[in-house]
Amino acid sequence: MPSPGLERPCVSEGGRVATNGRSGISAQMAFLNSDDTVIFLDKTENNPLQINGRPAWASEYNIRTGKSKPFDIVTNTFCAGGAPIADGRMVVTGGNIAVGPKGLAANQSVGPYFSIDGGMAVNIWNPRDGTWDSRPRGLHRERWYPSMEPLADGSVAIIGGQSGGGYSAIEKLMEPTLEFFPDRGAPVPVPIITRTLPINLYPLTYLMSNGRMFIQSYNEAVLYDLSAHTEQKLPDKPGAPGPYPSNAAVTLLPFTPDNKYEETVLFCGGLTGLSKVDWGGTHGPNVSLTDKSNSRDCWSIAPLIDATWRPRPPAPEGRSMATFITLPDGKIAWIGGAKKGTAGYGPPGSTGQPIGHSYADDPGYAVWVLDPTRYTWSYEGTLSKPRMYHSSMVLMPDGSIVVGGSNPNPDVTTVKYPTEYSIEVWYPPWYITPRPSNAQLPTTFSYGSSGFRIDLTKARSANSTASITKATVRLIRTGFSTHAVQWGQRAIELNCRITNGSSTLVVDGLPNNRSLFAPGTALAFLDIDGVPSKGKFVQVGPKTIPGERRKKKKRRMEWSDGAKLF
């Protein structure tokens, strides 16, 4: 019997995957909005979902109906960065110039797409009133492919990118600086970005528990001091470059009492063997890509412990663009990507030998789950559609994962590999197992607080009679999904012990360190013997954001009543 409120998924022949409606726009970027909804963002292109007489490139998808509603974002969000701030709003920054059909440059606000330049844009989603606050000149610099990282004070850092461009970066356009939202003044230098041309777009960032930011770009890694703007160099990453367009799968492993809340960053896959010249520049790669198999190699680094790259058991397949998504049972799903080639697209017949426009081939359909405590992998179902370049995926509070997109093309097409609008939902192995109740979980988690207790006899499913051997509470921030990275994704397991026979769970408070898990919204789960409850939206730490200047007159962009639903 499914738990109340959870419907039995319609499981496809391939495993725990079901198709579930359409995104209306190509789901290039995604983030969780509510129990049932996901916000998708796309670049400016000829999507079937229309708003105000033009294609939409922002939508809200509802997992219950499978339908999507459009939003009237006008800056071109191709390819933007995103991360949440402390009060639960999602900040999306950067993008590219105004474009028309086929992705070609166009004058601003001119049909048929009527987009405006998004290079310096800040678009802020407010989940409380369902509106976008759009600030087309909100950044100091033009940033296409910027990274974003939530910070301990509730703000976010915006790192790197370049002012337009193509396949990989070039010196003339790159933006080797960092700025903040809310604004703290002129951008400051980030030297690793300059050193790591041409694979320095979307550099991979994780705030560390000592307040410094781990940055991995091309084959280099540093700990960046956000106050002094200095770098402590770490050993070079072996194997494939981590960031786009090589796109190794990357994640910060969940913090647990067993790992003493010490951070480990894991990378799997990417494309090895290319020289700096081979990776090319904005014009495209200088070698063929779609005939090259991706690496299976996994490497981890604990930047604050011994800063040593360690080989880990290889991934089940070599892939570029697979995404690691932290699950509420402490494991990590590995979804999507391609076995050959890289992210990006180019003209048919060009040097990279694209399939259609795609620089990747041989999609990775199988979904695998990694147990990060033992580095073991288990097969858990198969997708039915390629989910490669410009796809996205989001963990839902019920533990399923919404998978959308894939569109390695400059504009909408049905030619292989086509613009994909179908949504698939992946269900974890325990999805239809009777679930514990999340009712006793608090709605706020304060740093250094004394903790709380849970009556396990009330929390456990009424259908479950087995004695409880392990129970724990996890917080997960799902982050902002794009380009095979869950930006800002973070998970922490609280220290717990069972007392009174097996009737009470004593849960210690969140460690008193904002850099472990930055303030903001998260999902809280109660896990009893490997079966998590549904996630509860909670506030971690204070909602305050330093230095934000609220605009007096906020531009509200509401639903269009006449909008066509897909």
Shortest Å distance, C-beta 89 to Cu ion: 23
The string of DSSP codes covering 72-111 is ---B--TT-EEEE-TTS-EEEE-----B-GGG-B--TT-T
Residue 95 or 436 having the CB closest to Cu ion: 95
Nearest to 220 by CA among 197, 245, 247, 251: 197
Shortest Å distance, C-beta 79 to Cu ion: 3
Contact 139, 93 (CB under 8 A): yes
- Pairing between β-strand 122-126 and β-strand 401-405 as defined by DSSP bridges: unpaired
- Give, in order, the Cα–Cα distances in Å from 402 to each of 189, 511, 558: 37, 31, 24
Point out which residues bind Cu ion (CB under 5 A): 79
Residue 79 or 274 having the CB closest to Cu ion: 79
SS3 234: strand
For Cu ion, the nearest residue by Cβ is: 79
Shortest Å distance, C-beta 281 to Cu ion: 16
- Give, in order, the Cα–Cα distances in Å from 420 to each of 22, 116, 390: 9, 24, 10
Contact 306, 277 (CB under 8 A): no
Shortest Å distance, C-beta 171 to Cu ion: 20
Neighbours of 259 (CB within 10 A): 16
Query: What is the C-alpha to C-alpha distance for residues 114 and 412, in angstroms, rounded to an integer?
Result: 16
Residue 96 or 196 having the CB closest to Cu ion: 96
Pull the structure tokens for residue 485.
Answer: 């990275």
Write down the residue that tokens 């280099």 correspond to: 220
Write down the residue that tokens 């956000």 correspond to: 226
Shortest Å distance, C-beta 160 to Cu ion: 14
Contact 264, 300 (CB under 8 A): yes
Shortest Å distance, C-beta 404 to Cu ion: 15
Neighbours of 369 (CB within 10 A): 21
Residue 390 or 536 having the CB closest to Cu ion: 390
Pull the structure tokens for residue 524.
Answer: 């809280």
Shortest Å distance, C-beta 180 to Cu ion: 23
Contact 364, 337 (CB under 8 A): yes
Residue 144 or 517 having the CB closest to Cu ion: 144
Shortest Å distance, C-beta 280 to Cu ion: 16
